[in-house]
Amino acid sequence: MPLLTLLPAGKTIEATEGKTILEALIAAGENFPAPCGDAANCGACHVFVLDGRKSISKMQRLENERLDAMVGVGSKSRLACLAQIGGENVTIELPRL
Ligand code: FES
């Protein structure tokens, strides 16, 4: 079971392979903003994937287009509602918490 480390808090939660980062955060009881659920409309679930990027699903066009329209994103940016976790541990930074 992959582990998901949340920065800046340094908290580590268990994730399920194949689930999204958002699903892992909700399952762990984290209070994380996701107003549109998983529709990729709001961009509120933006995170930076710092380690384990190879374990995260490839970015699809919808996510890429949404991120392109946002400010404050970078090469490590992903939308937690669309990025699925693979089998390796991942470290993310939550810019909105
Ligand atoms: S929750 Fe709205 S884009 Fe991810």
**How many Å lie between the centroid of ligand 1 and the Cα of residue 4?**
19
Comparing 76 with 96, the larger pLDDT belongs to 76
The pLDDT, as a whole number, for residue 63 is 95
The pLDDT, as a whole number, for residue 96 is 60
Neighbours of 52 (CB within 10 A): 19
Residue with CA nearest ligand 1 atom 1: 34
How confident is the prediction for the chain on average, in pLDDT? Answer: 94
Residues with CB under 6 A from ligand 1: 34-36, 40-45, 79, 81
3-state helix, strand, coil in the chain (%, to 5): 20, 25, 55
Residue 95: pLDDT band with limits 50, 70, 90: confident
Backbone φ, ψ for residue 74 (5° rounding):
-150, -170
The per-residue pLDDT for range 34-73, each reduced to its tens digit, is 899 778 899 999 999 999 999 999 999 999 999 999 999 9
What is 3-93's CATH number, 3.40.50.2000, 3.65.10.10, 3.40.50.740, 3.10.20.30? 3.10.20.30
